A and B are shown apart, each in its own frame.
Chain A
Amino acid sequence: QSALTQPASVSGSPGQSITISCTGTSSDVGAYNYVSWYQQHPGKAPKLMIYDVSNRPSGISNRFSGSKSGNTASLTISGLQAEDEADYYCSSYTSSRTQVFGGGTQLTVL
């Protein structure tokens, strides 16, 4: 299985919105609504931000939202804040009953 495709980096100014894409195949992203997104600050463990494409775990700000169209999922962060600067990873369940991650996207808040 190949890693999901994410842009290497995105950037935005405080208060703006950004979107990170995550492209897979009909065997993973396109097959199920089991796409999740993780935030990782340097030296820390990943933190779940979105599950099942568009659901937020308890305690996650509603500035974070997710969506999916076909084989591509997206994470949108609105009202960018300095603390949003981190690496973001998407992940999907696959038709082989495995999991696959994206290559990661570095978000810079200008």
Chain B
Amino acid sequence: QLQMQESGPGLVKPSETLSLTCTVSGGSISSSSYYWGWIRQPPGKGLEWIGSIYYSGSTYYSPSLKSRVTISVDTSKNQFFLKLSSVTAADTAVYYCARRPIFGVLTNAFDIWGQGTMVTVSS
């Protein structure tokens, strides 16, 4: 059973860069059948898609965050990463990583999610 786990600092200072890791276990991140994504949820608010990456490194980003976001992948470690620069209090949120199949019966939906990690932006 594939599992995903987010990790990283829970507190980031304003104007600094938020860095998170998603570790995939029980399956290979190098599979050609999936995109791997980041989604966030500010306290008491809705879900916001941040971006997705393919094992080859191909990425797609939310237009509203594109100038500050970098998503990368390390297939040797079965991990992918999120970097969000110049953070403000508005970036305080629970950050989730999730899998999106692109081939097969179930496609174009996030079918497996990590438990989420809370990141607070504060000095």
Q: Which residues of A are at the interface with B, using a C-beta cutoff of 8 A?
A: 1, 3, 32, 34, 36, 38, 45-48, 51-52, 55, 57, 89, 91, 93, 96-104
Contacts and interface: CB of A to CB of B under 8 A. Distances in A.
Contacts of B114: 45
Nearest to A97: B60
B60 A51 contact: no
A17 B83 CA distance: 43
Interface of B: 37, 39, 45-49, 52, 60-64, 96, 100, 106-111, 113-116
A54 to B, nearest CB: 12
Given A34-B108, A36-B108, A55-B106, A102 B46 contact: yes
B105 to A, nearest CB: 8
Interface of B is mostly: loop
B39 to A, nearest CB: 8
Nearest to B46: A104
Given A46-B47, A101-B47, A38 B63 contact: no
Given A51-B108, A101-B46, A104-B47, A96 B63 contact: yes
Contacts of A46: 47, 96, 110, 113
A52 B47 contact: no
A99 B49 contact: yes
Contact of A45 (B60, B96, B107): B96
Nearest to B105: A55
Which has the most chain A C-beta neighbours within 10 Å: B110, B111, B116?
A: B110
A85 B90 CA distance: 28
A98 B100 CA distance: 12
B109 A101 contact: no
Contact of B111 (A3, A32, A48, A89): A48
Contact of B109 (A51, A98, A102): A51
Which has the most chain A C-beta neighbours within 10 Å: B37, B46, B47, B111?
A: B47
8 contacts: A1-B63, A46-B47, A48-B110, A52-B106, A96-B63, A98-B61, A99-B37, A99-B49
